[in-house]
Amino acid sequence: MSNHTLSAQEIANLIGGDLFISSSQNFTGINSLSEALAHEVSFLGNEKYYKDFLSTKSRLVIAPSLLKEAPEGIGVIHVENPTLAFSKVINHFAEAQNAIEFNISDHACISPSARIPNGQVAIMAGAIIGENVAIGKGCIIHAGAVLSNNVKLGEDTVIYQNVVLREDTVIGSNVRIQPGTVIGSDGFGYEDVEGRHVKIPQIGSVIIEDDVEIGANCTIDRARFGKTIIQQGTKIDNLVQVAHNVKIGRHNLLVAQCGISGSTETEEHVIIGPQSGTAGHLKIGKGVVIAGQSGLAKSQDEPGYYQGSPARPINDSRKSKALVNRLPKLLERIKSLEAKVKTLEED
What is the pTM for the complete model shown? Answer: 0.85
Q: Tell me what pLDDT residue 1 has.
A: 36
Quick one: which of 179, 183, 195 has its CA closest to 153? Answer: 183
* Residues involved in catalysis: 244
SS3 318: helix
DSSP 137-172: TT-EE-TT-EE-TT-EE-SS-EE-TT-EE-TT-EE-
Architecture of domain 109-313: 3 Solenoid (2.160)
Judge whether 72 and 49 are in contact, CB under 8 Å: no
Q: Tell me what pLDDT residue 279 has.
A: 97
Question: For residues 293 and 324, what is the distance between their CA atoms, to the nearest angstrom?
Answer: 18
Q: Tell me what pLDDT residue 2 has.
A: 42
How many Å separate Cα 211 from the centre of its chain? 11
Domain residue ranges in the chain: 8-97, 109-313
Q: Tell me what pLDDT residue 294 has.
A: 96
Instruction: List per-block mean pLDDT (blocks of 10 residues) for the chain, which spans 347 residues.
Output: 78 97 95 97 96 97 96 97 96 83 96 96 98 98 98 98 98 98 96 96 97 98 97 98 98 98 98 98 98 96 94 80 82 89 83
Q: Do domains 8-97 and 109-313 have the same CATH topology?
A: no
Q: Tell me what pLDDT residue 258 has.
A: 98
Q: Tell me what pLDDT residue 3 has.
A: 54
Q: How many CB atoms lie within 10 A of CB 37?
A: 13
The superfamily (CATH) of domain 8-97 is MurE/MurF, N-terminal domain (3.40.1390.10)
Judge whether 155 and 173 are in contact, CB under 8 Å: yes
SS3 198: strand
Q: How many CB atoms lie within 10 A of CB 324?
A: 9
